């Protein structure tokens, strides 16, 4: 187990926003290590900094202090293009799905591969494959508005899977879905983690949901205050 590089490692990570003239310390020294195959939930009340942390890990934003290593690379040293390239290897799943409404489910999945420069035929094949994995092969030619919340989230998971990401980042993935569908989503995510060793970092304020994961990191006021291994 020597020299195993963590998928994500945060060392004393800080993020300060300027909200008008007031400096807001969203993250005050977060330490975190996520390894391949992990299923980590970050639990905390709103304003605790969990979404900020997720944005940092997702290379959507840069930290203002400390170190954040994604597969050994320090994110704060990357330029705009390098950050974009890194994002292609991260599977995002958002609370509000963030699908593009004018194109079909399959085209949404293909879009992320098209951004990564995958050829058209390969995109098509792979999109069908991952949509099959999430159980939506029959409805792949529907547009997001024609799908239920649960189905839309499964499209989003398929899209995240498409580029074979280093890890999944989920931001309240069941926050906008009814409980029955939420359970299906969680089962799907757990299956991906258990059967395919997909590394998952999930942000939630839902205690019940967090209990389904392997590790729970409790955040409060910009720092991780407690870790629970379930």
Closest CB 49 distance from other proteins, rounded Å = 14
Closest CB 222 distance from other proteins, rounded Å = 17
Closest CB 87 distance from other proteins, rounded Å = 4
> How far is C-alpha 67 from the chain's CA centre?
19
Specify the residue, 76 or 218, whose C-beta has the smaller distance to other proteins: 76
Specify the residue, 41 or 104, whose C-beta has the smaller distance to other proteins: 104
- How would you class 43 by CB atoms within 10 Å of its CB: exposed for 0-12, middle for 13-18, buried for 19 or more? buried
Specify the residue, 172 or 184, whose C-beta has the smaller distance to other proteins: 172
Host H or E run for residue 57: helix 50-57
Closest CB 94 distance from other proteins, rounded Å = 7
Binding site for other proteins (CB under 8 A): 55, 58, 60-61, 80-81, 84-90, 92, 94, 98-100, 102-103, 111-112, 114-117, 159, 163
Contacts 24+ apart (CB under 8 A), 180-184: 180/150, 181/148, 181/149, 181/150, 181/153, 182/150, 182/209, 184/150
Specify the residue, 163 or 193, whose C-beta has the smaller distance to other proteins: 163
| Contact between residue 191 and residue 212 where contact means Cβ atoms under 8 Å apart | no
Query: What SS3 class is residue 153?
Result: helix
Closest CB 230 distance from other proteins, rounded Å = 29
Specify the residue, 85 or 132, whose C-beta has the smaller distance to other proteins: 85
Nearest to 71 by CA among 89, 53, 56, 55: 89
């Amino acid at each position: 187990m020597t020299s195993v590089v963590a998928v994500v490692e945060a060392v004393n990570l800080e993020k300060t926003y300027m909200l008008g003239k007031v400096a807001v310390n969203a993250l005050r020294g977060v330490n975190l290590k996520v390894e391949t195959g992990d299923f980590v939930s970050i639990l905390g009340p709103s304003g605790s900094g969990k979404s900020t942390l997720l944005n940092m890990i997702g290379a959507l934003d840069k930290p203002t202090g400390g170190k954040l290593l994604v597969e050994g690379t320090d994110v704060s040293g990357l330029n705009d293009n390098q950050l974009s390239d890194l994002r292609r290897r991260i599977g995002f799943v958002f609370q509000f799905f963030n699908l593009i409404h004018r194109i079909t489910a399959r085209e949404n999945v293909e879009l992320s591969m098209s951004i990564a420069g995958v050829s058209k035929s390969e995109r098509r094949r792979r999109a069908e494959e991952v949509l099959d994995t999430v159980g939506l092969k029959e409805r792949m030619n529907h547009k997001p508005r024609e799908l239920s919340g649960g189905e839309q989230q499964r499209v989003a998971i398929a899209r995240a899977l498409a580029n074979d990401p280093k890890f999944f980042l989920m931001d309240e993935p069941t926050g906008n879905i009814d409980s029955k569908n939420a359970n299906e989503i969680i089962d799907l995510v757990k299956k991906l983690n258990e059967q395919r060793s997909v590394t998952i970092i999930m942000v939630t304020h839902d205690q019940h949901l967090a209990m389904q994961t392997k590790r729970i990191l409790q955040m409060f006021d910009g720092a991780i205050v407690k870790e629970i291994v379930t």
